[in-house]
Amino acid sequence: MASGYNAKEEDGHIGVVGLGGASLRGRKPENTAFKQQRLPAWQPILTAGSVLPAFFIIGLIFIPIGIGLYVTSNNIREFEIDYTGVEVSSPCYNCAQNFSWHSTTPCTCSIQFYLHQAYESNVFMYYGLSNFYQNHRRYVKSRDDSQLNGDISSLTKPSKECEPYANHDHKPIAPCGAIANSMFNDTLELFYIDPNGTRVPVALSSTGIAWWTDKHVKFRNPGGSTNLTAAFQGTVKPVNWRHPVYELDTDPENNGFINEDFIVWMRTAALPTFRKLYRVIQKKNNMAPTLPRGNYSLQVQYNFPVRSFEGRKRVILSTISWMGGKNPFLGIAYVTVGSVCFFLGVVLLFIHHKYGNRTNNADITN
């Protein structure tokens, strides 16, 4: 049977005859400006008078900003020490060749270096790893956020995402997962060698290195108890750890799941070559530099093997600026975009000047 209808644009009503009238009446959109797509619109008309100034303005703004960012980045001082121990001449060569996750005797090596320039402000000490893929999907998921937030039930029954690092010897692992199991555990100490040859230890602060939200929101000890030995009773340490989680530090405010070294490691890196903040060297005397020029010794307790994945380890001493750490890419990007816009503006201006009048004359003639 045929059906027909008469549309009335004035009020949006619809007349339906025959079967199917109700469905047709329900399908037609209301006669409003929004549903009938009659809203006012604006479409820019690109002309030489609007495009050319935009190119020149972007170029004149971006180029000075990029130069400022690049100069600021270059003023940041960095000193990098590779202590992987691949080369035979490296002081850490023996440790790198003979050490593994299951070694019981710690291996210590010492690296001597010289700072040619003094560091005046606070100095940030990073450890860097290469060829370590923290961005692997299974690795990133291998954690239990409820357990790390202090949930008692998750402490005794870890998430299946932590497998195969959820249980060991029929006991739950705390903290569970591949990320925690592979935590960086080298111990780094820095000494200044004065003109008399005496080694003076440099004070390294182990707090204030993690994000505030991680320290006070995402990570909590179970029950908030200060007696962490009792709180973690019935659990075992990760397979590759030397000590349980409640012995990461003697400071109760920096122990257990809220240990800042642990928190920094649990924030996974996006690229296989990365650095993470290890310690902060605070400036104590305004009249003296934080790290004076001279000889230094880096003492490493070699606990983190990298030969299995052909990785490298390094220590970075760096200052910061108002824009953060050393990163010349942002300045280069601004200068590049600004230069390209300025160059395109000159080219388009030349084309408009040479061919624009000819087009206008042809339009007038026609």
Q: Are 159 and 176 in contact (CB under 8 A)?
A: yes
What's the confidence (pLDDT) of residue 237?
Answer: 94
pLDDT exceeds 80 at position 26: no
Supply the pLDDT for residue 7. Answer: 43
pTM score, whole prediction: 0.79
Confidence of residue 6 (pLDDT cuts 50, 70, 90): very low
Distance CA 242, CA 305 (A): 14
In the chain, what are the domain boundaries?
51-76+326-353, 78-319
Q: Which of 19-28, 48-57, 156-165 has the weakest average pLDDT?
A: 19-28
Closest alpha carbon to 228 in 210, 266, 254: 254
Residue 365: its H or E element: helix 329-365
- Does the structure show a pLDDT above 60 at 22? no
Stretch 293-313: mean pLDDT: 93
In order of 171, 215, 242, 307, 321, the CA distances from 245 in angstroms are 15, 15, 10, 26, 35
User: Which candidate, 164, 254, 148, 261, places its Cα nearest to that of 209?
Assistant: 261
> Would you say residue 338 has pLDDT above 50?
yes
When pLDDT is averaged across residues 66-81 and rounded to a whole number, the result is 93
Task: Identify the burial level of 168 via C-beta atoms within 10 angstroms of its C-beta, where 0-12 means exposed, 13-18 middle and 19 or more buried.
Answer: middle
